[in-house]
Chain A
């Protein structure tokens, strides 16, 4: 018999009597749906992200020009930022050719108040490795797309068919050396969140 057959028949021989699958819906009732923007900002700041409230995408440009050195490689999936960043050419690079990216500016359509994370799919990444390999990461999210909890987040995500997606919560970090928190492990050294709040 193949190993597949062996493993599955050993499992079936030892599997206990079927029990019911619980409903996750009751967990949603506990969520605090009040002032999600303020909740999100507090948590995201606590996990090391920098949060900017902006009115429109043009404000992104001014903040980036003030905070990032000119001459470094900036890439973005946001077409409106093409005067500031490479929005096309990097797409045909090999993943390793993105090693010198200083800043990646990406857009997300979902953020989670309880943990400060954004949900970002591979079409919003341009290249899968981009949000990880870049030295600094900026994410733009509309404040109306903030949900309270992970339960709400998965209700929005549903069973979408993207090949890759990730929750990203703050800059990369480690505390492996004597539990001292160090920001900038293998991924971005900083994460800035631009939350668009339309009037």
Chain B
């Protein structure tokens, strides 16, 4: 589903913004989730200590990650799990395909894994004749719509229930015009139960991998990861290498933070600890790098690898809420996606660090204290220096530099601006100026502060 056009964030946000009432609905829904998060968080006096502890555990993990990965591998092998290493997305996809081929099947059920979105696994397997069905309800919905998820925790947050009813009518044979979430969910339950019962191979993501025990933990509310995994003969779990944590007791810290930050729940319905395959079952773990080791070496950006994928930064972001997840044209959207994506391809994602007001709300809610807004600002410096900004941005920055470099030019430009805004606003407020898209400008003041001061206080 990597059919996203090569438009930048501003253009894609512009498309999203053509339907104003939908933007308001999207904005309010996500803010409601942010408020649920606040309510849950405020019940814990130790919240800040939890965040600090989690951040420090991840910092330590990153500082010793080579050893922790080797320990995790050794323990997982001792538990009877097969461990694979993939340097990049391509190799990850080939490993998964290889396992499927070995078992002579052509279909698989998959629970939520943002890593497989990052690797475009579904498309790769489809090209090789393997059908993949996503079993998370939201992911199944966007899969039927042939769209990528727009949010890492709430994949179809951009879809209205009537649109979901239409999709189910078209693909699952429900009567036309259904929109009751209860009925639509029951339909998906029946449809996916059939899938779970008939697939030999199940792939899941990994929320945490414990070095000390060689186990991995998968969190869901729906129970879809467990239905797939325990009914399968082969369970494949894909993980970015940064998912490893040192000890089992650290799960106590992360599981307390994860869902409170994500949805305001005290914990997900299921937090499943997979340590050994069940007798007769095959279990595989694929440990993926895909640019993470490069990010590890970027001093200013390595903290992004602490991310536990809760989505809190998206729910709180004033830009995300009003531009929609698809405007980020990356598997992981929102503020965290905007600091992860340029590491993968600085040119393709040069626009994303600019898709922010730098208000800092993302950093305030992050459960592992990633300095997200500082990193967005730092990526801007890196991207401008590397020459990846658009021509219009470069030209306007040059003009700004010239204007601000001399008080004379600055004052003249200010005066000219006020006159134009007063007598010829159409010269600025036209289709050529992107600032006027979905915005109204305030009336310009009659005079500058400098002019006012000279007139009123200048003689004293």
Contacts and interface: CB of A to CB of B under 8 A. Distances in A.
Nearest to B182: A182
Interface in B252-285: 252-253, 255-256, 263, 265-278
A66 B374 CA distance: 60
A185 B227 CA distance: 11
B56 interface: yes
A155 interface: yes
Interface in A6-39: 6-8, 10-22, 24, 26-27, 30
A185 B293 contact: no
Nearest to A31: B46
A165 B273 contact: yes
A198 B184 CA distance: 44
Given A166-B273, A174-B137, A182-B181, A150 B224 contact: no
A11 B33 contact: no
A99 B241 contact: no
Nearest to A133: B227
Contacts of B189: 184-186
B71 interface: no
Given A3-B85, A21-B246, A27 B64 contact: no
B241 A170 contact: no
A122 B270 CA distance: 14
Interface residues of A, number: 74
B53 A30 contact: no
Interface string A159-199: 10111111111111111111110101111100000000000
Contacts of A21: 56-57, 60, 246
Interface stretch (A52-60, A73-81, A111-119): A111-119
A173 B269 contact: yes
A11 B29 contact: no
Contact of B270 (A157, A158, A166, A176): A166
Most B-side CB within 10 Å, residue of A8, A10, A117: A8
B263 A175 contact: yes
Contact of B231 (A26, A95, A154, A179): A95
Contact of B224 (A11, A163, A170, A185): A185
Chain B interface extent, by class: 35 or more
A151 interface: yes
A47 B271 CA distance: 15
Nearest to B277: A163
Contacts of A176: 136-138, 141, 154-156, 185
A164 B87 contact: no
A50 interface: no
Contacts of B59: 19
B241 A22 contact: no
Contacts of A43: 266
A166 B272 contact: yes
A175 B60 CA distance: 35
Contact of B249 (A115, A151, A163, A177): A151
Contacts of B263: 175
B269 A169 contact: yes
Contact of B137 (A122, A153, A185): A185
Given A129-B231, A176-B136, A24 B53 contact: yes
Given A7-B85, A30-B45, A99-B193, A117 B271 contact: yes
A107 interface: no
Contacts of B181: 177-178, 180, 182
Nearest to A171: B269
Contacts of B227: 129, 132-133, 186-187
B231 A96 contact: yes
Interface stretch (B295-303, B350-358, B381-389, B427-435): B295-303
Given A172-B222, A174-B137, A177-B161, A15 B65 contact: yes
B186 interface: yes
Contacts of B65: 11, 15
Interface in B48-106: 49-50, 52-53, 56-57, 59-60, 62-66, 69-70, 79, 85-87, 91
Given A6-B87, A149-B256, A184-B189, A172 B278 contact: no
Contacts of B136: 176
Nearest to B165: A177
Contact of B29 (A3, A10, A178): A178
Interface in B126-146: 135-138, 141
A177 B164 contact: yes
A14 B193 contact: no
B378 interface: no
A159 B213 contact: yes
Contacts of A14: 293-294, 296-297
B230 interface: yes
Of the listed residues A115, A163, A168, A179, the one surrounded by the most CB atoms of chain B closer than 10 A to its CB is A163
Which A-B residue pairs are the 3 nearest by beta carbons? A187-B223, A14-B297, A163-B276
24 contacts: A11-B69, A14-B294, A14-B297, A15-B64, A18-B60, A19-B63, A21-B60, A22-B53, A99-B197, A122-B278, A150-B252, A150-B255, A167-B271, A174-B138, A176-B156, A177-B181, A177-B184, A178-B159, A179-B29, A179-B32, A180-B161, A185-B137, A185-B185, A186-B135
